[in-house]
Chain A
Amino acid sequence: MAIDRIQNQTAFTQRPNVAQHSANVNMERLVYLPRKHYKNHNEIPNSVNMIKPEPGQGHLLNGGLFGSIGRFFSNRIYDIKSVYRGYKGTANDHQLGRTNDVGLVLGGLGIASFLTTKRIATMPKHMEFIGLASFLASMALWPKIGIFGPARLVHGFDADKRYIDDQGRNKSVFQDPNYIPFDLYRGKKKSENLSAIADYMGIDRDADNREEIVKDQMKKIATQNHTLWMLTSGPAVPTLTALMCNAFERGYEPFIVKQKASKHDKMIDELYKNLIENPQNQKEETFITKIKKAFTKDKVTSSINKFTAMDLDKSEKIITKKELTNFINTVTEGAGAGVSNALAKDLSKILATPDKTVIDSKYIETLAKNIETKFQGHKLLKNGIISFDEITEALTETIHKKLSQSTNDANTLDKEKIKESLLKNRAVNKKSVEEAIIQAVKAKLEKSGNINSSLLKRIQQMAAADIKGTDIIPSSDKIIMTREKAEIINSLTEPFKEYLTNFIQLRKINNLKMGDIADSQNAYFWKQLEKTFTNIVQPNNVITSRALKPLVDNEEAIKIRTKENLEKLVKNDDAYKRAVAAISTLKDKYLAAMLGEGRQGAYTNFVLGGNNGSGVAWNLRTFSSQGTEMDKFIELQSKIASNFRKVNHSFENLINIIAGNSVDYTKSIASLETSANVTKVENFVTACDRLIHTLDIYKRADGYAHANDWTQYKATLLEEAKINVISAEGHDFFAKFNNVNKPDKFRNYMQLIYDGYLLDETKSAMSEASKSTLTAWLKRTHDVMGMAFKDAWQYCEFVYPSVSTDNKVFDNMTTTPFERFKLQGKNPVELLNQGFKNSYNSNKWLRTFGGLFTCVLGFSILAQFFFGKKDSTIPLEKNRIARLRREQNETLTQNTTNESVQKLEMEAANGN
């Protein structure tokens, strides 16, 4: 192929001599010809002699930002056209080459779209597409920054130069070493001037055949660079992609979080309007919602209808247990396991038939088997067990007998039909089954013959007595549904559908903000807190992975490091204030985001229990009257729950779990979802409070260490507190920090540390940044964790659980272990552990990827200095000899002998 091109090229470049042509043209005739624009040479009279190639249309492409952006889009249009022409069958080789790139992008889009389905959070979903874009970008970028950019600097020409050929195709000049269109270097610009390039390369101006030399050199360097490109892009492109994605992710995360938060606000307002403000106002259906509705399968209605559908001529319908389970699973999809369990319970109660059972062949088989096991070895039945057929016969007889008492219809009384229905599915009274079994046993015994009447009677009694035991009559795995029951189940449709739609919608909305996924607002703030506190403790600007390595997953080391660093930090007043302010600001930002702007007052009332200080006992009903952003969620939750109460009361369990009853509201889903949200807010706030308090304790200890009025005892307590505040868990309080037998010391400790005292520095730093205070949290911690209630001290001699879990001790306030746990927020050491781990991991990651990329880049830049040099090709050698000869002429006198020139030539030949 390439050879063909060469031949074409030579044919093209061997232009006929123009002068010769003009000499051949009959000038006289031409004079009389009118001036005319000819489409092609066939039209021109005497054209055969005038054949002359038109000037080439091809030209080199030059850089320039706008030009390259424009070209990017025109190239993509060309790609699409190429695919079209490819499918049409009229594509040329260049266009066929482009189809490969289109395929790559299409495949990449397919992969990215599929992989989004494997991601839960929005951010990773977006990252799939961003990853694809980064990959394509790195493929384009790597040769520019890693190969041809440095090559241009070193060698003075662009080895990735592109040109537009006569047919308007965008091609690379040096791609095919056997066909390089050097004729396009017309010298109009510096980058297209072979002479300028030769100057840059340092090729002698007086060299023989200078243009050929530079062409050879360019060809060689370009070939080397193209090979280097192939060699390096393997390791470079994936690493560059990863680095690009990483950089993008950092900036993109806050944006996504913000987007989700505003989406949350908008959606919850809309739902609030529909459900609470204007519940009567039916939303006007737009065209799109109508279409959407038409195409969305209403699973609840359709599956309930299918489940309860019955033949018109029948009063009963038989359902298998599997059908029932499937039905429950389909209907309660997305509502959670609690709801499906409750529905299963309710349905089994509704569909229960105490005196009826369903008979089919499997049932009869089990029956026969049960009898066999029961009478195995029984001397009365040693002539053989009762077979399947015998039982079927007995059942048919019994049923026939019963039916004949009530009806004369021959069709109903047809024994064959009864038998057939028994083998399939037939609802029968349990009593009849018992009777039939006795009948069968009796018949069997009679058949065996050698039994007298008194014995038969005994057997009858025995058999009856035995058979009435529940272990012979099997329980059917089929359920009977009647019309009344179907109606009850049908009544569930509308309320349940409404509940599910609203509940799932609300949960979806709530997940945007409070969900347990990486890019919810709640998770984002935790990450921020982690980062802020890690920076406070480890304030070095560069946290290297080597420095972090001993701290990863080693809580003792973290404890020591934290203590050391915080002691250092509190000595610097400015740094201390900045640290307190940073945490306070974050806390305020969090509250503003979660409860709405300017709602800190509401928060104080609710979280801190108002002025009466009743504390962190979470009272949901009180909360809902505060009018915060989160309040809307709680109100909606209870509204959705209470709307469900109108359902038939047979669904007792379902109502209880969804809406709760007056007795046990707390176990309902509505309550759980609400309190989960509230707990999340509280956890974050308490964690912030605890961190500020920790800083305060270190500052106090630092200040008192130098004060005169500070007793040794208190100093000891404060010193102990330094470790306790950063690492204590709830159980440490109940072990009284190893002071079990010294209740007084523990009491003093609690009073000293948690009596509500804060340093002025802390207060001022806090008040500048935030509106909330620590007082209530401290008081509550003191009361609950120190157990300062009525008579509580007498129990303090013992270690938990006898004291701490026995709520009866505390008369004036109920505390649960969960509340006590919540009061501790998050252990600072744990927070730091997570923070160190994250920075260690990301540092390590960045070092590895960045390191590899830098290595490859360094290698490819270094390689440039070896390119174009090593092999002394003969033209270059000739050139050097010429230069040497010239220098010789200039510097040496005329007496210089030929010998010295020859000597120089020989040196050159040696490659010096």
Chain B
Amino acid sequence: MIPKVTSEIVSCGAKRHERTNTPAKKNENEEPRVLESNIRNRTKAAYHKTTNAFTEYMAKGLMGDINSNFYEFLSMRPVPTLLGSLTFIGLFNGVSKYFDARGFQQAKKLGIKFAAGVIFYAIAKTLSKDLITRPVAWATGVDIEQPYLNVVYPFPKVIMTEPPKPNDKLANKQPTRIIQDLDPQYQYQKLWESVEFPRIDLVKPEYFDKIAKKNGLGENLNSAETEAKPILKNVISTATTASRISSFLWAACGVGLAASGDWDGYYNTYLTGTKLGKCNVKKDAPLKDKVTAKLNNFWQHTKEGTLALGNTFKNSAKEFYKGAPGSKGFKKHAGKILFFTALGSSIFGVANTIIRARSIGKNLCDKNIIDNSKDSMAV
């Protein structure tokens, strides 16, 4: 999987043997490796992707670097999302202060709701994926979130040396090219991201034994990998679809939650920070007292704020589910409908995935996989 540096790739003119100054490559034989599927690695991956998206990948892309690749393009997805959300929040909250007094109040209220909506959208969308992937991983043995660290060796960089001065007759007339090998690039990818090219080569055979066992293929198979592959592909397809569809519905629930409660009240009371600065200490009091008072104040503020956050969340969840007081019909039940649609999509997604995987397992077990009626070359 590691791209070989061939003379074609260094099509920029210099042949490999022409390299004059090649620094020693680090970890020459580093191979892609599977990472443990836990929160630590997931956070690491998200951090790695997001920070690089804003810096290295962005810079490489804008320069049209030869090593800019599809993984980097995909990793840049948080850029428009984050910038867009910030623009959205910033504009609505930033413009409001130029409005007249009443307009300001209205726009500010709306702006805070928008901000809460964006935040809740992101949280709900991220967390809800686990509603699909965890049960599926537990029941079928296929964890579609399973990360691996891919190692890519980029094309070497061609550096032109300073050309000799024209009047220096003794110097070499040609400018010297230095072909410099670059450090390997690490990519946080998922093993089962692709149906067509799942990275089966990276996992141990025991992995497929587990899948085979969980899906009813039995134990001690001659080639668990071959037998379990159809199940794996099926699970990738069904679970990915389910998690994509349901996560957007959960995100909608998140927005609904933000639109329901008194979030602007919470923001105005606890987040604008007016309380924090005010503590009753005399100006000439000793530093120790001042610090203690400040700390106490901060602690009090945090405690109250956390409690209020819980309360606001509770109330907004209540309003979201039961509808605003006095409402009826669709207004009353809209939240409920949205919630149960999201929940239903998750349950259906998980059930669909598990049932299909098991039924394939069962069919394979009965050796009924070849449909003779079909005029097909595929076996």
Contacts and interface: CB of A to CB of B under 8 A. Distances in A.
B64 to A, nearest CB: 4
Nearest to B64: A220
Interface stretch (B288-296, B305-313, B330-338): B330-338
B95 interface: yes
Interface string A175-196: 1111100000000000000000
A903 B95 contact: no
A314 interface: no
Contacts of B99: 841, 844
A223 B166 CA distance: 37
Given A177-B68, A841-B100, A852-B91, A89 B80 contact: no
Interface stretch (A377-385, A677-685, A717-725, A870-878): A870-878
Interface stretch (B21-29, B210-218, B238-246): B238-246
A549 to B, nearest CB: 9
A113 B61 contact: no
Interface in A870-912: 870-871, 873-875, 878, 902-903, 905-906, 909-910
B265 interface: no
B337 to A, nearest CB: 8
Interface residues of B, number: 91
Contacts of A100: 244
B252 interface: yes
Interface stretch (B36-44, B229-237, B279-287, B364-372): B229-237
A114 B335 contact: yes
Q: Which of the listed residues B175, B194, B237, B341 has the most CB atoms from chain A within 10 Å of its own CB?
A: B237
A129 interface: no
B276 interface: no
Contacts of B331: 117
A248 interface: no
B63 to A, nearest CB: 6
B241 A2 contact: no
A111 B360 CA distance: 37
Nearest to A114: B256
B340 to A, nearest CB: 12
Interface string B352-364: 1000100010000
A117 B249 contact: no
Contacts of A239: 87, 91
A873 B12 contact: yes
A2 B69 contact: yes
B73 interface: yes
A11 to B, nearest CB: 14
Nearest to A235: B87
Contacts of B240: 86, 96, 99
Nearest to B84: A234
B71 interface: yes
A455 interface: no
A93 B233 CA distance: 11
Contact of B12 (A88, A553, A875): A875
A845 B253 CA distance: 29
Contact of B238 (A89, A837, A906, A909): A89
Nearest to A226: B73
B375 interface: yes
Nearest to A42: B377
B80 to A, nearest CB: 4
A107 B251 contact: yes
Contacts of B255: 111, 114-115
Contacts of B375: 39
A367 interface: no
A828 interface: no
Nearest to B95: A848
Given A106-B245, A111-B255, A226 B69 contact: no
A906 B173 contact: yes
Given A39-B375, A102-B245, A906-B173, A177 B12 contact: no
A293 to B, nearest CB: 15
A878 B13 contact: yes
A1 B197 contact: yes
B70 A178 contact: yes
Nearest to A103: B248
Given A96-B240, A96-B241, A220-B64, A111 B252 contact: yes
Interface in A200-216: 212
A3 B70 contact: no
Contact of A107 (B64, B80, B249): B249
B196 interface: yes
Contacts, number: 229
A871 B60 CA distance: 12
B165 to A, nearest CB: 9
Contact of B71 (A2, A223, A874): A2
Residue of B245, B251, B327, B328 ringed by the most chain A CB atoms within 10 A: B245
Given A89-B238, A175-B70, A235 B83 contact: yes
B281 to A, nearest CB: 39
B112 interface: no
Given A96-B195, A230-B79, A844-B95, A224 B64 contact: yes
A233 B84 contact: yes
B248 A104 contact: yes
B86 interface: yes
B182 interface: no
B3 interface: yes
Contacts of A233: 80, 84
A91 interface: yes
Interface in A827-880: 837, 840-841, 844-845, 848-849, 852, 867-868, 870-871, 873-875, 878
A814 interface: no
Contacts of A39: 375
Interface string A533-547: 000000000000100
B323 interface: yes
Nearest to B158: A874
B273 interface: no
A772 B327 CA distance: 44
B334 A849 contact: no
Given A83-B241, A235-B83, A875-B12, A221 B64 contact: yes
Contacts of B146: none
Nearest to B257: A114
B81 A234 contact: yes
A90 B237 contact: yes
A608 interface: no
Nearest to B117: A111
Given A86-B237, A117-B330, A906-B173, A227 B62 contact: yes
Contacts of B69: 2, 176-178
A844 B73 CA distance: 36
Interface string B329-351: 01100110010011000000100
B76 interface: yes
B133 interface: no
B115 interface: no
A2 B233 CA distance: 19
B11 interface: yes
Contacts of B77: 230
The 5 closest A-B pairs by CB, nearest first: A234-B83, A227-B61, A86-B241, A107-B248, A110-B252
Given A117-B327, A224-B62, A234-B79, 11 more contacts: A87-B242, A91-B195, A99-B241, A99-B245, A103-B244, A111-B255, A231-B58, A552-B100, A837-B103, A874-B177, A875-B12
Interface of A: 1-4, 39-40, 42, 83, 85-93, 96, 99-100, 102-104, 106-108, 110-111, 113-118, 175-179, 212, 219-221, 223-224, 226-228, 230-231, 233-235, 237-239, 242, 333, 545, 552-553, 837, 840-841, 844-845, 848-849, 852, 867-868, 870-871, 873-875, 878, 902-903, 905-906, 909-910
25 contacts: A1-B193, A1-B194, A4-B197, A86-B241, A87-B349, A100-B244, A104-B248, A106-B245, A108-B248, A110-B248, A110-B253, A115-B256, A176-B70, A177-B73, A212-B11, A219-B64, A220-B64, A221-B64, A227-B61, A228-B61, A231-B58, A235-B84, A848-B98, A852-B91, A906-B164
